[in-house]
């Protein structure tokens, strides 16, 4: 089992930036896919970005391309989500997720493929 702890959420003005962190502990492997999902009030949880720890291959939701950047520090078992040009539609609880993936290819984007989840961190963007 993997324990995931998110941090870095908070209140930010529209147009501002935040960086979220997700630290993984317990059973971690280099062939993990790690991802960020988010859930806004009254909406379904949706995919934001994912990274394959072995290769660094990435996937992004169209709504965040060009604004958000996912990265990893394998030595620290940490994945980051740098968020820029934030707007009110980015307000949500952001969740970190992990799964055992494949060494090659691109990371999964479906939440049903992820087996381990963090508790979430709130991001609120004021307009």
pLDDT tens, N- to C-terminus, the chain (127 residues): 899 999 999 999 999 999 999 999 987 777 899 999 999 999 999 999 999 998 899 999 999 999 999 999 989 999 999 999 999 999 999 999 999 888 888 999 999 999 999 999 999 999 8
pLDDT of residue 103: 80
Q: Which two tokens stand for residue 117?
A: 């989840």
The sheet with strand 18-26 has its strands ordered as 2-7, 18-26, 78-83, 68-73
């Amino acid at each position: 089992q993997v324990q995931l702890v998110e941090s870095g959420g908070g209140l930010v003005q529209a147009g501002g930036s935040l960086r979220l962190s997700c630290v993984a502990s317990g059973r971690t492997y280099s062939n993990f896919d790690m991802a960020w999902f988010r859930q806004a009030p009254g909406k379904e949880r949706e995919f934001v970005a994912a990274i394959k720890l072995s290769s660094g291959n990435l996937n992004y939701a169209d709504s965040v391309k060009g604004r958000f950047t996912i990265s990893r520090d394998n030595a620290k078992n940490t994945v980051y989500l740098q968020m820029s040009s934030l707007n009110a539609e980015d307000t949500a609880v952001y969740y970190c997720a992990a799964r055992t993936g494949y060494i090659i290819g691109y990371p999964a984007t479906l939440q049903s493929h992820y087996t381990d989840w963090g508790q979430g961190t709130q991001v609120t963007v004021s307009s």
